[in-house]
Structure 1
Amino acid sequence: MFSLFPALVSGSVADRSALRFGDRSLTYAELAASAGALAARLDGAARVAVWATPTLETAVGVVAALLAGVPAVPLNPRSGEAELGHIVGDSAPSLVLAAPGDVLPGPLGALERVDVTIDPGLAAGTKEEAPGGAAAPGSAAPAAPGAVTDPGSPALVVYTSGTTGPPKGAVIPRRAIAATLDALADAWQWTGDDVLVHGLPLFHVHGLIIGVLGPLRRGGSVRHLGRFGAEGVARELDAGATMLFGVPTMYHRLAEAFDEHPGLAGALGRARLLVSGSAALPLHDHERIRAATGRGVVERYGMTETLMNTSVRADGEVRPGTVGVPLPGVGLRLVEEDGTTIAWYEADGTPAGAYDGESVGEIQVRGPNLFTGYLNRPDATAAAFSADGWFRTGDMAVLDPGGSVRIVGRKATDLIKSGGYKIGAGEIENALLEHPGVREAAVAGEPDADLGERVAAWIVPLDLQEPPSADELAGHVANRLAPHKRPRTVRFLEALPRNDMGKILKRELPRD
């Protein structure tokens, strides 16, 4: 039987803490009981939606669906009604799982609702006494109806952000989850002794799959903060947590909080691993955290359709601006617009081709970590893959001389063709962030009658009253990179538009 959660099924760590959200927690035995009882109720469902609030109920609901072999569709509670209506109509779930008392919006009103009830007392009973055949402490979780599934069967349908049209449902098979989590265990030396703390949302890959299912696959523990904050991070790390997951916005807030929270730096320094993802962590935040804690922040690279592709290894060198090397089992190559492969990794993981830190190509990947396709969208699925079966990520990157991947932007929005040059917006953003007067930076191309496109920058200065001049910033970039990469237009803002994960929404930048 293929199992995503060997420790949960075997009962080998029954008394160990599995999940903690705020002051509510479940041991592995209690999780097996509550999720097992719910899994039995899901028998026969084709697909279930999960109202993915940052709560114990969301985690139990997803685990129950996975135990039952029923694909789960996490729903972002902050989505608008039009987007939710599209997702519900597209995925056609049989029912929706929610915490008791949650008020669900209109698009979910027609669905049968099942409240996720947490009853740790089930674990004190026997299998015969517990509803749904839930397991007693020390015993295995029940094999819920439909739970014996093949690794290629769907586990989750996770919807993309919808930046280029209505969100598409990426069908994530069970083997992709297992392959990614096992590869990360290798890269991060992740074991059942680790205790992870994070405050990420639970409707996407980073927060749900890596942040909740990851510890459960290892037989370890997760402590979710509910709401991210420096005080909570310090408290959990001081109380024995060994790993922290976050996005750049979170690490920026931690770096800003060192003076206000004197114990924070020490707490972060005691963590075994600090991991950032979903967007590039600015250089000055890397430097401030390392200077205060003595520890570097590990960056990784993934996306909804591929889960995780690359990472800096726990025993590797932390180099700001890079996202490490391919995870075990993941093939990666850089491809030019004409289809020419310019750089790649050999089967033994060594880089080949143009790994010079300058040659830009689209990242294409293949491996067991990939989704099986977009739900109800064979056209989009076919377009997402090359003729020889590699997934086109749409991300542009270079390979550094040491073989590390350095992402320079999205193909659709961050590849600037100016005066015959191909320029990645990401490397200019990194250069701008090295300027002492810059807090945040975004770069994109704008139409230019002479150059085709010109480099434009949007800057959040450290001091809004006395920002650095446009000429100063252009010179700063020209000196660090090359004259043709300097911004020709600079606009100053109080803040950059970002989504829930901290990614800059470049289409919302003012272009007056």
Structure 2
Amino acid sequence: MSPLSLDLSPDLFPALTEAQADPDGPGAHRPALRFGDRSLTYGELAATASPLAARVAEAGRIAVWATPTLETAVAVVAALLAGVPAVPLNPKSGESELGHIVSDSAPTLVLAAPGTQLPPALAALERLDIDTSAPTTSLPSPGAPDPESPALIVYTSGTTGPPKGAVIPRRAIATTLDALADAWQWTGDDVLVHGLPLFHVHGLILGILGPLRRGGSVRHLGRFETAGVARELSEGATMLFGVPTMYHRIAETLPDDPALAKALARARLLVSGSAALPVHDHERIAQATGRRVIERYGMTETLMNTSVRADGEPRAGTVGVPLPGVELRLTEEDGTTAVEAYDGETVGEIQVRGPNLFTEYLNRPEATAAAFTEDGWFRTGDMAVRDPDGYVRIVGRKATDLIKSGGYKIGAGEIENALLEHPGVREAAVTGEPDADLGERIVAWIVPADPQSPPTVDELADHVARRLAPHKRPRVVHHLDALPRNDMGKIMKRALTHD
């Protein structure tokens, strides 16, 4: 593993600074952003974003209506140039959630693409339309902000109450992107393609700011489609970022789409994140393309914590090893006793510490304090095991995926992967429910491949027992038409109820 040199200078985008300083130089003509048939070079991005940065420099805090458009990317870059915290807003949020976010973050402006209709919850904010037609000359950017100053306030989905605003400093963005550059051998020659939303860490920080920090380029599909992936990877793109639902669609499409298989085979790096990619999708993609999807692990509060490295073993079902600069430990249920085992079996809660972490939850000092241990470790709430070589395998969330059955601590994730290996199972989720004898019994929620002939509970129990262990077999099976998922494709287990 190569040593990581962390650049904590205020300049997040050296290639953009270079293009601004020399508008006629070769760097200014390099492609930076492309959304459909609209694009900006580094010179054009500098000339577009710097006047906008000058306009918002005294705004205090701004909201960005984060549609998957060129305007959103320009707005966030301008805010970062100005040193003004930006609050990305999910266009699919309801009025109540938007009202809470606006009230909590108190932005003075909302930036949006011209012609976009904004909801009533934003009516009281001054609106500034984003002009992506570059002027003839760029303006000087405001003074360089401190690395510890807030860059983004990203709201987490609230499972027990309204969303909390995670304050992400510039330092965290720089260190995470540089750590990923080390792990993925990411350079300015890489061209990234993705179709993710731009209101969260994966789509915005990794997918837009990542290429710009490296001096490379990004091609955003607007919305994900396998034809777009095939087109861009066939036309020079080198990396693909996606979530498991996207890779599942790719895996389903591959048998009948040789052009997609050929395009994926050309990619330097295929990366999945935001939730676990089922092992059977890993294997189907690898078999069809000869390329392995690698996974990384992060969250809003910590940005990125671990990844399978480009120069490491692309092992399905794991999120790799801690990134440079990130400390990671597993702890027992008391939250302080370290789990020392590297046996692939002993489950503990992931806690992390390092320069990739957020600063605080906005206006929530009690929640911030509760999120950290006394010695500064962030409690992720994710449960994992570690293999003997240090690879981390996440087995689920502490609140919903840790099942205590018959004296065993069992992670739902490995059972879900085993169920997905059954030919009669299209989708699967696993939860626990109270049991007088076992403490908790394992419950499987299945979308059958053939609704007219779903697999029985005995069939699935035997299947899991053979692959894992008898105590990990499901005792109850529910058949569904579809699993409830959020915008990122994560299964919403709290919505799984049986009446």
- TM-score normalised by the shorter chain: which range applies? over 0.9
Map 1:220-369; keep pairs closer than 5 Å: 220-343=216-339, 353-369=340-356
**Counterparts of 2:388 and 2:424 in 1: how far apart (Å)?**
30
User: What number of residue pairs does the alignment pair up?
Assistant: 485
Secondary structure at the aligned position of 2:206 is classed as helix
Please point out which of 406, 411, 428 is paired with 2:415.
Answer: 428
Letter in 2 for 1:115: D
Alignment equivalent of 1:86, drawn from 85, 97, 100: 100
More moved, 476-485 vs 203-212:
476-485
Query: What SS does structure 1 have at the residue aligned with 2:419?
Result: helix
Q: Counterpart of 1:157 in 2: which secondary structure? A: strand
Residue equivalent to 1:116: 130
1:464: which partner in 2? 451
Write the distance in 1 (CA, Å) between the matches of 2:337 and 2:188. 40
SS at the partner of 2:78? helix
Report the Cα distance in structure 1 between the residues aligned to 2:310 and 2:49, rounded to whole angstroms: 32
Shift of 1:117: 0.7
In structure 2, the partner of 1:398 is 385
- What residue identity is the alignment partner of 2:230? A
Q: Distance in 2 between matches of 1:445 and 1:126?
A: 61
Q: Are residue 209 (structure 1) and residue 205 (structure 2) matched?
A: yes
1:69 aligns with 2:111: no
- Most deviating of 250-259 and 325-334: 250-259
User: Which residue number corresponds to residue 10 of structure 1?
Assistant: 18
Q: Is this contact kept in 1: 2:255–2:288, CA < 8 A?
A: no
- The worse-fitting range, judged by mean Cα deviation, of 402-411 and 445-454 is 445-454
Tell me: CA distance 1:496–1:126, structure 2 relative to 1, closer, same or farther (3 Å). closer
Structure 1 residue 260: Cα displacement: 3.7
- Does the residue aligned with 2:254 lie in a helix, a strand or coil? coil
Preserved contact between residue 230 and residue 261 of structure 1 (Cα < 8 Å): no
Deviation per residue, 1:58-79 (Å, 9 max, x gap): 0000000000000000000000
Question: Aligned partners of 2:194, 2:456: CA distance in 1, in Å?
Answer: 38
Offset of 1:181 from its aligned partner? 0.1
| Paired residue type of 1:244 | L
For the residues of structure 2 that align with 1:41 and 1:161, how far apart are their CA atoms? 31
2:58 to 28, 44, 50: 44
1:130-209 paired onto structure 2 within 5 Å: 133=139, 142-144=140-142, 147-209=143-205
SS at match of 1:317: coil
Query: 1:447 is matched by which residue type in structure 2?
Result: P
- Residue 49 of structure 1: CA displacement? 0.2
CA distance in 2, matches of 1:338, 1:305: 22
Please say if residues 279 and 316 of structure 2, whose CA atoms lie closer than 8 Å, have aligned partners that are also in contact: yes
**Take 2:458 and 2:390, find their aligned partners in 1: how far apart are those partners?**
34
The letter for the 2-side match of 1:415 is L
- Report deviation, 1:427: 1.2
* CA–CA distance in structure 2, aligned partners of residues 339 and 74 of structure 1: 32
TM-score under structure 1 normalisation? 0.93
Q: Distance in 1 between matches of 2:190 and 2:331?
A: 38
* Contact 2:62–2:108, Cα closer than 8 Å, also in 1: yes
Distance 2:240 2:185 in 1: 14
Deviation at 1:126, TM superposition (A): 3.8
Name the aligned partner's letter for residue 181 of structure 2.
A
In 2, the alpha carbon distance for the partners of 1:342 and 1:399 equals: 13
**Separation in structure 1 between the aligned mates of residue 126 and residue 111 of structure 2, nearest angstrom:** 9
One-letter code of the match for 2:141? A
Give the whole-Å Cα distance in 1 for the aligned partners of 2:491 and 2:131. Answer: 37
Structure 1 residues without counterparts, runs of 5 or longer: 128-132, 134-141, 344-352
Structure 1 residues 126, 57: CA separation in 2 closer, same or farther (over 3 Å shift)? closer
Q: Residue 335 of structure 2 contacts residue 349 of structure 2 at CA under 8 Å; is this kept in 1?
A: no
Question: Are positions 1:381 and 2:358 aligned together?
Answer: no
Contact 1:255–1:285 (CA<8 Å) still a contact in 2?
yes
State the distance in 1 between where 2:108 and 2:137 align.
30
- Corresponding letter in the other structure for 2:426: R
The one-letter amino acid paired with 2:264 is L
Counterparts of 2:197 and 2:230 in 1: how far apart (Å)? 19
Which secondary structure does the structure 1 equivalent of 2:415 belong to? Answer: helix
| Residue 484 of structure 1, CA deviation | 1.3
Deviation at 1:389, TM superposition (A): 0.6
How far apart are the structure 2 equivalents of 1:409 and 1:18? 37
TM-fit CA distance, 1:156? 0.1
Residues 252-302 of structure 1: per-residue CA shift (max 9 Å, x gap):
101111244320000000000000001111111111100000000000000
RMSD: 1.0
Cα deviation for residue 391 of structure 1 reads 0.1
CA shift, 1:340, in A, is 4.6
- Between the aligned partners of 1:277 and 1:211, the Cα distance in structure 2 is 12
CA separation in 1, counterparts of 2:251 and 2:329? 34
Give the Cα–Cα distance (whole angstroms) in 2 for the partners of residues 474 and 126 of structure 1. Answer: 67
Q: Distance in 2 between matches of 1:91 and 1:219?
A: 31
Distance in 1, Cα, partners of 2:262 & 2:160: 43
Map Cα deviations across residues 233-269 of structure 1 (whole Å, 9 max, x no partner).
0000000000000000000101111244320000000
Is residue 231–residue 261 contact of structure 1 (8 Å, CA) maintained in 2? no
Give the SS at the match of 1:227: coil
Asked if residue 485 in structure 1 is aligned to residue 472 in structure 2, the reply is yes
1:90-130 deviation line (CA, Å, top 9, x unaligned): 0000110000000000110000000001113x2xx345xxx
Indicate the SS of the match to 1:370. coil
- Summarize the Cα distance change of 1:412–1:118 in structure 2 as closer, same or farther, 3 Å threshold: same
Whole-Å Cα distance in 1 between the matches of residues 428 and 394 of structure 2? 16
Superposed displacement of residue 232, structure 1: 0.4
**For the Cα contact (< 8 Å) 1:73–1:156, is it kept in 2?**
yes
Choose from 379, 394, 397 the match for 1:407: 394
Q: Which secondary structure state, in structure 2, belongs to the residue aligned with residue 13 of structure 1?
A: helix
8 Å CA contact retained: 1:362, 1:394: yes
Structure 2 length as normaliser, TM-score? 0.96
Query: By how many angstroms is 1:392 displaced?
Result: 0.1
CA distance in 2, matches of 1:493, 1:246: 25
Secondary structure of 1:257 counterpart: helix
Cα pair 1:333 1:341 within 8 Å, conserved: no
Secondary structure at the aligned position of 1:266 is classed as helix
